[in-house]
Amino acid sequence: MINCTATTNCDTEEEYRHLPTIIFLAIIMVLFIFFSVFGNVLVVLAVIKTPSLREEKSNYLVINLAVTDMLNGATVMLSTFVALTTDTHTVPYSLCNLMCAANYCFIISSMMTLCFISVDRLYAVVFPLKYLDLITSKTLAILIAESWIQGIIFSMVPIIEDWIEYDYYEITCAIQWHKKGDNAIYYVIVAFILCFLGPGLVLGFNYMKILREAKKKMKIWAVTLQTSKNNSVKKKVKKESASAKTVRSLLIVVCAYFICMTPFSVTKLIKVSSQRDIISGPVNSTASLFAFASSVVNPMIYGIFRRDFRRAFQLIMRKRQSENSVTRPCRTSYALDQSTNT
């Protein structure tokens, strides 16, 4: 039986996690934390240090997504790792509120950023003549600010309403929907529509139009390439092909996000609709791991499907290795000098 406190979800009378389970989950969390922080730092550095990536305005939204995922790894995942390895059932009240708010803020900010990226790509591919006028640095700054403002607003409501408890099986502080009555139901309906369903529909609509337009353009350029020997035409076709690959990689990012977040969202909706905790412990834990995975996969997708990011990653790593190789002999020679002097 689990010891119940004000910040512990104790509805399900299941056994404690066994040591092999804790070790297995801890290894997964260590990998998630490392790759979410390291991978997303690499994405940010790639955009900042590579002129061609820096010139693409949409990549500032990619940076925002990477920062969100990186913070998720460094805060929420880290607190989950600590709770998991200590096998705790209690979390200090203030820390519990903070971690839950951060978790929901990052989830909402990520979803809104993906939505805004789809809008950016829609104008770039379908309405290229309007793109430069509408998608300015100021517009992107407003969109990035909006993604965080919406995340902060929706994450503060559970703190104000005192809905948050530590859930042993989710391995994180979460809203206990089944305990909190009608207000929690109204909140989750509004949050689901504005932060998940609405942006999801916008994403689907935008990428359908983008893919249709991209397919149409590639057919036209394929015919043009066969009938023309002009180098400028070949360059244009190459540019269109690169744009299509960018859209493909972003679409994969969106699909990966929905795959990772669906178990998390479905378990939450079941808890709200049932008004009691009917989700088993292992299912709760698995849903949490899937949600955390959404912060890990994006750098891998960029590295696999985008040649420009892959090259940038390689350059950063090579530069880092060369700096280390230069520093090491200096330290060795300094140590030899010191030993000679003594």
| Whole-structure pTM value | 0.84
Domain locations in the chain? Answer: 18-315
Residue-level pLDDT at 188: 83
Token reading at 144? 């990035």
Average pLDDT over residues 9-28: 76
**Is the pLDDT assigned to residue 181 strictly greater than 60?**
yes
d(CA 161, CA 256) in angstroms, rounded, equals 32
In contact, 283 and 268? CB cutoff 8 Å: no
Tokens matching residue 100: 């839950």
Distances (CA, A) of 130 to 135, 172, 206, 286: 8, 45, 16, 44
Task: With cut-offs at 50, 70 and 90, classify the pLDDT of residue 22.
Answer: very high
The whole-number average pLDDT for the span 206-210 is: 91
Instruction: Check pLDDT > 70 for residue 130.
Output: yes
Provide the residue type at 8 as one letter: T
pLDDT at 4: 44
Amino acid at residue number 144: I
Q: Which of 120, 134, 133, 129 is nearest to 56 (CA)?
A: 120
The residue to which tokens 């609709």 are assigned: 273
pLDDT of amino acid 180: 65
pLDDT confidence of residue 100: 95
**Fold annotation for 18-315:** Rhopdopsin 7-helix transmembrane proteins (1.20.1070)
